Amino acid sequence: MDFSKLKLPKGIKMRDPYESELKYFMQNPGVSGMATEDNKVILNKFSNLSADEYQAVAINEAARILMRNPKYKPDFDLTTEQVRNLDTTTYRTAPEEDRQATIAARILSGDPSGGVPTTAQMFFVKQLREALGLEE
């Protein structure tokens, strides 16, 4: 997959994974991407995703980077279904803000594991979409 063909939202950059990140991806093909500490998106070439799925992952990770900005911190309740889903993942013990950001990024990128969004979640995701310069 040629990641250079993917479109990232304004202000968000992609980079190649460092050697340690590449090793992690190789051992964890189910992790398809990351928002790195240096605020870049990296994608896992060892995942078996289509171009459209990689595009959704890139959007998801870009949203995670934006939500590091205090202006775009999520602040909404999770549904029982969303809590149940997250409790089966590595986000089981994550801080609430990380769990909220995960759900918001999943809703934004069209990932069905985000669950059925609430009105407050959709309002927040609309703000993310606008801030990232994404079309509806």
pLDDT of residue 125: 97
**Mean of pLDDT values over 26-39:** 94
As a whole number of angstroms, the distance between CA 78 and CA 106 comes to 13
115: left (phi over 0), alpha (psi -120 to 50) or beta: left
Name the residue type at position 77.
D
Can you give the pLDDT at residue 79?
Answer: 98
CB of 111 within 8 A of CB of 85?
no
Q: What average pLDDT does range 89-115 have in this prediction?
A: 95
Q: How confident is the model at residue 136 (pLDDT cuts 50, 70, 90)?
A: low
Domain boundaries, the chain: 3-132
Q: Is the pLDDT of residue 134 over 80?
A: yes
pLDDT, tens only, 21-30 = 999 999 999 8
